[in-house]
Amino acid sequence: MPEAIGYGASQAYQPNQANTRAGQVAEQAEAFKTKRSEAAAVIAQRQASFSTNRAEFLSRQAEQLENRAETRRLEDGVGLQVNILA
C-alpha cells in the first residue's frame, strides 16, 4: 500500500531533464528578449537626444545667420544715408 501514496519506483510526477531543460531555455530566451528590448530603448533615447541637440544647434546657427544678414543689410551702401528720391 505505500506505493499508493508516492513511495516506491513510480511516483506521481518526476520532472525529467528534458522538461527542466526546456524551462531553462525558455527563461534564457525571455531574458534575452528583455535585454534586447532594453538595449533598443537605450539606443532610441540616445538617438532622440542627439536629434534634439542637433535641432537646437541648427536653430541657433540659423538665428546667427539671420542676425548677420540683418546687420549687413543696414550697413550696405549709402542708401540709408542719402535719399535718392529727393
Residue 6, Ramachandran bin (φ over 0: left; ψ between -120 and 50: alpha; else beta): left
Total number of domains in the chain: 1
For residue 42, being part of any structural domain is answered with yes
pLDDT in tens, the chain (86 residues): 555 555 555 555 556 666 788 889 999 999 999 999 999 999 999 999 999 999 999 999 999 999 888 776 666 555 556 555 65
**Residue 4 pLDDT:** 56
**Residue 48 pLDDT:** 97
For residue 13, being part of any structural domain is answered with no
For residue 7, being part of any structural domain is answered with no
**Residue 59 pLDDT:** 96
For residue 82, being part of any structural domain is answered with no
Domain that holds residue 46: 35-73
For residue 63, being part of any structural domain is answered with yes
For residue 46, being part of any structural domain is answered with yes
**Residue 22 pLDDT:** 87
**Residue 85 pLDDT:** 63
3-state secondary structure the chain: CHHHHCCCCCCCCCCCHHHHHHHHHHHHHHHHHHHHHHHHHHHHHHHHHHHHHHHHHHHHHHHHHHHHHHHHHHHCCCCCCCCCCC
